[in-house]
Amino acid sequence: MTTGMIAWTTAAPAVGAAFVASTVEVVEAFTIILAVATLRGWRPALTGAVAALGALAVIVAALGPALNLVPLRVLQIAIGILLLLFGLGWLRKAVLRGAGLMALHDEDAIFERERTRIGDEVKSARAADGIAALASFKAVLLEGLEVVFIVLAVGAGRGLMIPASIGALAAFLVVMAAGLLIHKPLARVPENTLKFLVGVMLSAFGVFWTSEGLGAPWPGGDFALFGLVAVFAVAALALVAMVRPRAEAMAA
């Protein structure tokens, strides 16, 4: 019973973190695929996307088994540091956006910008579909690598690869279903709120894994993750409140 509880308390944040973080990445990739598709049709858009998914599969197949060769504590420290770098970076941007010091992520604007960029390139190139497919390939490869990293980061430290993968897969299915239904950039996804949540969760996981890897585990074991999430959430909200007056003074 206790073992089950501990497994659940560890698996739930892993699934949640992978789902929310992957949602953000899949929305970003979908925006660019849609921009390519409206400009050159679905064929080059999907060709690029499928090629990128194939490349991602090869990368995961090649690197996945290699992770088993790395001692667990070294893996925890390395992943913990990378998670902290990634998580604190996202949290910093989310705080600055929340305070009004940085422009919010705008999927409609990105959609238009990508359409213009690809359109400009196509005018001066013969292989228009090739350029469109390449844009789709790059977007899916980059965002996909971020999803792979997130799944590895929240899952590899303690054998949670399957829950983390389920979270990422669920995000992929939800975003694709929503995208195909409304057939427009998913501009109403509260991306900054999601990035705030992801930044908080990844930073909490980063502190947790780094400490475990250094041989300094948190009291309460896996339950400590909830406390770490609370600390980062409170700290980030306090920072938003502290910085917002500066942004308002600048705007006035």
Q: Applying CB under 8 A, which of residues 53, 211, 226, 237 lies at the interface with another protein?
A: 211
Of 98 and 163, the one with the shorter C-beta distance to another protein is 98
Contact window for another protein (CB under 8 A) among 4-12, 22-30, 107-115, 139-147: 139-147
Q: Applying CB under 8 A, which of residues 18, 21, 27, 91 lies at the interface with another protein?
A: 91
**How far apart are alpha carbons 214 and 212 in whole angstroms?**
5
Q: Applying CB under 8 A, which of residues 7, 56, 145, 187 lies at the interface with another protein?
A: 145
Contact status, residue 47 vs residue 133, Cβ threshold 8 Å = yes
Determine if 138 is a binding residue for another protein (CB under 8 A).
yes
HSE value, Cβ hemisphere, 13 Å, CA-based, for 124: 5
Q: Applying CB under 8 A, which of residues 25, 203, 205, 233 lies at the interface with another protein?
A: 203
Nearest-CA neighbor of 32 among 135, 175, 177? Answer: 135
Which three-class secondary structure state does DSSP give residue 124? coil
Q: CB of residue 188 vs another protein: minimum separation in angstroms?
A: 26
Determine if 33 is a binding residue for another protein (CB under 8 A).
no
CA angle 120, 29, 105 (to 5 degrees): 85
Of 19 and 205, the one with the shorter C-beta distance to another protein is 205
CA angle 192, 174, 51 (to 5 degrees): 95
